[in-house]
Amino acid sequence: MNCQQCLTIRRLFFLVFLFIMCLLAFNFSTFYLISLNSTTIDPSSIIHNNNNNNNNNNDELKYDLLINDNSFKNLDKINDLNVRVRELLRIRSSVLKELRSLERNRTLIIQELTEHNNELEKLKSTIGKKSNELERLQLHIKQAVVAQKEAKVLVGSMIEPPLNLLPKQAQAKNFIENEKATISHLNHNECQMHNCFDYSRCSLFSSFFVFIYNHDDDDHHHVRSSFDQIIYDKFRSNIHVTNDPRIACIYLLIISEHFPYWNDRISFQNYLDTLPYWAGDGRNHIIFNMNPKIDLNSIELNVKKAIIVQNQFSKSFSSLRHSFDLVIPNVQIIHSFNENLKVKNFSPKLSPAKRKYFLTFLGHLSHKNSDHNNNNTAYDDNLQLIIKNTMLNLLTKHSVVNHNEFLFDFDCDEKTKKLCDNQTIILLESTFTLIPIIIINNNSFHHDFYQRLFNALSTGSIPIIISNNIISLPFEDVIDWRKATIRLPIARITELYVLLKTYTDADIIELRRYGLHFYQTYFANLDKFIATFFAYFGTYRLQIPPSSPPSYRSIYYYNQPKYDIQFNSSDSLLTNSLIYDNDPSSDGDEFLGPIEPPFASISYHRNYSITMNNLYSIWNDISLTPFHTFPSLPFDPVLPSESKFIGSSYGFRPIGAGLGGSGKEFSEALGGNHIREQFTIVILTYERENVLLLILSHLKNLPYLNKVVIVWNSPQPPSIDIIWPDIGVDIVVIKSERNSLNNRFIPFDEIKTEAILSIDDDTNLRHDEIIFAFRVWREARDRIVGFPARFHSYETNEKSWYYNSSYTCEYSMILTGAAFFHKYYSYLYSYSMSSLIRDKVDEFMNCEDIAMNFLVSHVTRKPPIKVTSKWTFRCPACQTGLSENQSEHFLKRHKCINYFVSIYGYMPLLYTQFRADSVLFKTRVSHDKQKCFKYI
């Protein structure tokens, strides 16, 4: 029905209405006339009188008949009027019925018209949605075609973990005969790695294996001390040690002080030549000399092509074959020194930068010039005197009141115990400490030097090494000691004070921080020293990539890698209507990205380039380590922009195919500076199935989602009545060994992506918020990127740190209940971070998010990034939580922050006043453009 028909009906209705009104007016006038006639002659009374007066006289009867004749005439008129009235009433009734019928038809027609209009609008909406779906399907097809082409190119072009190719097999009986043919007559003093080492036994694509000779198996029954046994056990417990000599790259011979042939050079030489895998010239052998008093070269032992590792070389290191032999600290000093530290149980502080004493010296220097006939000794004594006089001049010229700026003691050594017992306490209060290297009888006092070096590093006192470059610091080839020490020639000692005054507080803190890092990473105990020893030869000398980090194998409930079976039950924890009737995304019709099949991030694609070209970085950057090769790093280099289109275009999805664009083109591709990728959601839960499943249902069809990993912290397994929602990706439920908040950051092998979104089981985020945070994280992969922000405050009067959740203009932490971070930090948290921090998290059942923020800020020296204005979360469906008791919750977090500061030695958290909101946010754009995100 159109508008013309509606107008015709209205006109007809109006005409009928006028006709009825006319009829009513006519009826009223007729009744009025009848009423007037009835007042003059009452017909009913006339009739009544005629019927009751039959006995009247004739005159009266004639008169009555005359009257009756007139009355009958009026009655005929009345009857006619009655007939007409009845006819009009009938017509009126008929018209009213017809009008009612027309009105009913009109109502039905209007309802039908409304239904048709609604159906038309639905069809238009469906056409729009189908058109959008068609466009998205076409986009999926285009991306699938590109991915297929990339897959063909990728197959066989990238190596993932290091391959395990074994070297040639070594047989104990015929190994010597087979190898003697290649023995050269090269002078062993000319040995270098390229001419005295057999690289064929150490493939780049093999694991690095070391075989250790066991003296208990030979015919020479060596006596071992308790310390010797500790060293042997520590070496054998290392992951690089193998009991199979046929696959070994290096053969290690450990010689202790109790070796029986120290005084018998010929027997010593015969012992070496008869080793099962000596091969005639000692190739690929390392002789680890634990005797601090004897240089193997000084006893004229011909070690041939074997590498010597010991703590000293005589004759001013002339016998040291540089880049072949290795100088190390005395392992007994490392063991005893760190055992003493365990008893003292102190933590050095990085702040304040300037401590009580600006410069200290605790050692032994000669009081007078030497009268010895030996010129070298006299020269050394003169140097000692020069050093001593220079420090005395400092006391007189530059000291502050009461000489509190300096503390020098020239008579402290192992014999005089005057201040040696308090040396650690003094160094904890010293900004710089002086360590001169003096040569006595052509031998430097290494024992005292390493003792003092480790003491300075472990206390945060910056070592100033005064020498003429006649001593090598431990593993100096790879450790950049300039980051932690100051080295000066003796001629510069007179300028020492002025030089030290030029160092700013930031310079001092960085020197102290790296000194503690080098000590705690490489020399804190025997296990770390031995790991450093093997990493030096494997990673640096042979450039073999380190082994992969420990893999945490996921344990699934019901032996299923994913829940693809739903259990139907009338008592199910969550009904299908609750799961699927809710709007999961709350994003309307906003297109946030293509729904792609899950794919893993590329792993181990830089394991060889890092070892070959970034050795100094992995040994000297606090954020890296030489002990493991990781699947990926958040610090990987970024290609220039043209690489997306020229040459290295694999995986890139530039916006608008390189032309850019607003919201529409933005939503169709990830863009940015990195190749396409996905993220894994990790949810830690404990006996809150209803809330968990509701949160899971909100993740349905979330773009770029690879997988959901649920860490089941409860000792009770999931109920068989749970109906796991179909959200488009796998939901993997992993059994935890125990209830611990540290489980949130375990690097499970089920996590195949670099990006991890950690959320609580009661955190409800919109799809657009998640995708926006993911895009921001891709631009800052080394940061924590998330939503709720907090900061640390300092109470000056109490000299204590506090956890604060107030609204402020700067923050320093992002709660990991809703945050993105790189999987690399899961490895650092689980395996490299101090176990004392994880223990405190278990003790308080709190603070794991603070610990992760401490870790990331410590290794990057960068603050986290907050996205959107969201400051906290509300969960109406949640009944209880760990932070329900707010006062106790905040008290624990206050304690955690101060405890973590004591572990790190400083406050690593950094403040920031930056918050990320989407591009074009609140920007007026033309009608043909779209914003990047509608609601952010």
Band of residue 530 on the pLDDT scale cut at 50, 70, 90: very high
Structure tokens at 403: 């000489």
Model confidence at 56: pLDDT above 60: no
Q: What pLDDT shows up at residue 506? A: 94
761 SS3 class: coil
- For 35-47, the pLDDT digits (tens) are 555 444 444 443 3
Long-range contacts, 558-567 (Cβ 8 Å, 24+): 558/717, 561/730, 561/732, 561/750, 562/730, 562/731, 562/732, 563/724, 563/731, 563/732, 563/733, 564/730, 566/723, 566/724, 567/720, 567/721, 567/722, 567/723
Euclidean distance between CA atoms 64 and 477, whole angstroms: 156
Euclidean distance between CA atoms 194 and 176, whole angstroms: 21
CATH fourth-level superfamily of 557-638+674-916 = Spore Coat Polysaccharide Biosynthesis Protein SpsA; Chain A (3.90.550.10)
Q: Which helix (H) or strand (E) holds 732?
A: strand 731-735
Residue 821 vs residues 105, 838, 921: alpha-carbon distances, Å: 67, 18, 25
Euclidean distance between CA atoms 340 and 450, whole angstroms: 15
- For 864-916, the pLDDT digits (tens) are 999 988 766 655 555 555 455 678 889 999 999 999 999 999 999 999 999 99
- Neighbouring CB atoms inside 10 A of 326's CB total 24
Euclidean distance between CA atoms 818 and 829, whole angstroms: 18
Residue 736 vs residues 71, 415, 538, 718: alpha-carbon distances, Å: 115, 55, 35, 12
Q: What pLDDT shows up at residue 565? A: 37
End-to-end CA distance of the chain: 45
Euclidean distance between CA atoms 901 and 850, whole angstroms: 11
Q: What pLDDT shows up at residue 27? A: 63
Structure tokens at 854: 């401490």
Euclidean distance between CA atoms 847 and 490, whole angstroms: 50
Q: What is the DSSP letter of 843?
A: H
Phi, psi torsion values for 410, nearest 5 degrees: -100, 5
Model confidence at 82: pLDDT above 90: no
Q: What pLDDT shows up at residue 881? A: 52
How many helices (H) and strands (E) would you count in the chain?
Answer: 25, 24
- Neighbouring CB atoms inside 10 A of 822's CB total 23
Q: Which helix (H) or strand (E) holds 119?
A: helix 58-154
- Neighbouring CB atoms inside 10 A of 580's CB total 12
Q: What pLDDT shows up at residue 564? A: 41
Scan for tokens 């009268």, then name that residue. 371
Structure tokens at 794: 């300092």
Euclidean distance between CA atoms 298 and 291, whole angstroms: 13
99 SS3 class: helix
Q: What pLDDT shows up at residue 277? A: 92
CB neighbours of 719 closer than 8 A, spacing ≥ 6? Answer: 573, 689
- For 86-112, the pLDDT digits (tens) are 888 888 888 888 888 888 999 999 999
Contact 751, 679 (CB under 8 A): no
Angle at 591 between CA 723 and CA 580, to 5 degrees: 20
- For 683-736, the pLDDT digits (tens) are 999 988 889 999 999 999 999 999 999 999 998 888 888 889 999 999 999 998
CB neighbours of 751 closer than 8 A, spacing ≥ 6? Answer: 680, 682, 707, 709, 823, 826
- For 5-37, the pLDDT digits (tens) are 556 666 767 777 777 777 777 666 665 555 555
Give the mean pLDDT of 126-140: 79
3-state DSSP helix/strand/coil % of the chain, to nearest 5: 45, 10, 45
188 SS3 class: helix
Q: Which helix (H) or strand (E) holds 386?
A: helix 375-397
Structure tokens at 889: 């919750």
Q: Which of 325, 381, 761, 849 is catalytic?
A: 849
571 is catalytic: no
Concatenated DSSP letters of 253-306: EEE-TT-TTTT-HHHHHHHHHTSTT-TTTTTTEEEEE--TT--GGGGT---TTP
Band of residue 223 on the pLDDT scale cut at 50, 70, 90: low
359 SS3 class: strand
Concatenated DSSP letters of 657-698: GGT--SHHHHHH---SSS----EEEEEEESS-HHHHHHHHHT
The separation between CA 558 and the C-alpha centre of its own chain, rounded to angstroms, equals 29
User: Among residues of the chain, what percentage have pLDDT more than 90?
Assistant: 39
Residue, of 337 and 537, whose pLDDT is higher: 537
Euclidean distance between CA atoms 711 and 720, whole angstroms: 17
Scan for tokens 């009105």, then name that residue. 103
Residue 433 vs residues 353, 384, 496: alpha-carbon distances, Å: 14, 16, 12
Euclidean distance between CA atoms 733 and 739, whole angstroms: 15
| CB-count exposure of residue 231 (10 Å: 0-12, 13-18, 19+) | buried
Q: What pLDDT shows up at residue 569? A: 32
Give the mean pLDDT of 799-819: 93
Alpha helices in 800-860 (DSSP H): 824-827, 835-844, 848-860
Give the mean pLDDT of 672-682: 94
- For 330-387, the pLDDT digits (tens) are 888 888 766 555 444 457 899 899 999 999 988 776 554 444 444 444 445 556 666 7
Contact 782, 860 (CB under 8 A): yes
Alpha helices in 698-799 (DSSP H): 767-779
Structure tokens at 368: 């007078």
The separation between CA 127 and the C-alpha centre of its own chain, rounded to angstroms, equals 42
Q: What pLDDT shows up at residue 757? A: 98
Return the amino acid letter for 143. Answer: Q
Euclidean distance between CA atoms 836 and 854, whole angstroms: 14
Q: What pLDDT shows up at residue 438? A: 66
Return the amino acid letter for 407. Answer: L
Euclidean distance between CA atoms 676 and 654, whole angstroms: 9
Taking alpha carbons only, the member of 297, 616, 305 closest to residue 475 is 616
259 SS3 class: coil
Q: What pLDDT shows up at residue 429? A: 92
Q: What is the CATH number of domain 331-541?
A: 3.40.50
CB neighbours of 302 closer than 8 A, spacing ≥ 6? Answer: 188, 269
Q: What is the DSSP letter of 5?
A: H
Q: Whole-number mean pLDDT of the chain?
A: 80
Q: What pLDDT shows up at residue 301? A: 85
